[in-house]
Chain A
């Protein structure tokens, strides 16, 4: 794998705002994109995801990050994965739900040094650790 990219699938402009904020904190990074569910049906969002996946460079992989569990971005991500097979399926990771700034920053800082099987549990841990009472 050359680069682990990330696609934030969210309501409204949340994904784009999270990416812009993360880059304000740690600087510009490559391989990041956001997709809003605004105006898209379930099938329309899945079709958009398929189009994004078709543009994925052959040597790269893609992590899907979504906002709320069970909401339409999560459903669409799972439907996308269910339709993938073989090598293509192996290049898509996630989806992880509840994406927040600590999770995203950890992803950006660790994606090149931490193997995916360790990175995903770390992201979940950091995302949860970002919520305190």
Chain B
């Protein structure tokens, strides 16, 4: 049975890049991407940087977190992947009233002091605390860089 069109929300500090466009969207036949980020939505140079990654059949929209929160409240006409730069953006979406039942953690790379949960998932203490707050609010946290990757239960690990 085909799943109804739905939102997939992914945290990835590389934002829209090869793994997202080729490894995820092309494999699953997802043609609509949204990059939710206040800074990028307001910067023409940053928008142009990411616009050349999607394939011709894929569209990329840029939204502020406020715009994305409103969009997430409505079922999409087609399955759509929304990309955020960090867990704090997901928390902002919740505070803006967005329904968020599951958050994919697709890539948070190493930085000083960060704890490794997987080779694609390193959390600073601030990010871990943020994820704990999201977990307490009922968000299912899943570590998964690619569709075929094992789904890591991050709620248990933070």
Q: A11-B18, A71-B18, A82-B45 are in contact. List 13 more A-B contacts (CB 8 A).
A: A39-B119, A41-B108, A41-B109, A42-B14, A44-B110, A68-B18, A69-B52, A70-B50, A70-B52, A71-B17, A71-B53, A72-B14, A75-B50
Number of A residues contacting the other chain (C-beta, 8 Å)? 17
Which applies to chain B's interface (DSSP): helix, strand, loop or mixed? Answer: loop
A112 to chain B, nearest CB (A): 32
CB atoms of B49 and A44 under 8 A apart: no
Assembly CA distance A72 to B53 (angstroms): 9
**Chain A residues, CB < 8 A from B52:** 69-70, 74
> Which residues 38-88 in A have Cβ within 8 Å of B in the complex?
39-44, 68-72, 74-75, 78-79, 82
**Chain A residues, CB < 8 A from B108:** 41
Q: Which residue of A lies closest to B46 (CB)?
A: A79
Q: Sample 5 A-B pairs with CB under 8 A, ordered by A number.
A: A41-B13, A41-B108, A41-B111, A70-B51, A75-B15
- B residues near A (Cβ < 8 Å) are 13-18, 21, 45, 49-54, 107-111, 119
Assembly CA distance A69 to B52 (angstroms): 7
Assembly CA distance A40 to B45 (angstroms): 22
CB within 8 Å for A40 and B50 given contacts A68-B18, A70-B17, A71-B18: no
CB atoms of B13 and A69 under 8 A apart: no
Assembly CA distance A74 to B21 (angstroms): 14
**Chain A residues, CB < 8 A from B50:** 70, 75
Interface string of A14-26 (1 = CB under 8 A from B): 0000000000000
**Chain B residues, CB < 8 A from A41:** 13-14, 107-111
CB within 8 Å for A42 and B53 given contacts A68-B18, A71-B18: no
A8 to chain B, nearest CB (A): 16
CB atoms of A70 and B45 under 8 A apart: no
Q: Report the 4 A-B pairs with minimum CB-CB distance, sorted nearest first.
A: A70-B53, A41-B109, A71-B18, A70-B52
Query: Which residue from A43, A75, A82 sits with its C-beta under 8 Å from B17?
Result: A75
**Chain B residues, CB < 8 A from A39:** 109-110, 119
Among A39, A69, A70, A75, the most chain B Cβ lie within 10 Å of the Cβ of A70
**Chain A residues, CB < 8 A from B49:** 75, 78-79
CB atoms of B53 and A69 under 8 A apart: yes
Q: Which residue of B lies closest to A67 (CB)?
A: B18
A82 to chain B, nearest CB (A): 7
A12 to chain B, nearest CB (A): 11
CB atoms of B110 and A42 under 8 A apart: no
Assembly CA distance A72 to B17 (angstroms): 6
Assembly CA distance A40 to B109 (angstroms): 6
Q: Which residue of A lies closest to B13 (CB)?
A: A41
Assembly CA distance A21 to B143 (angstroms): 36
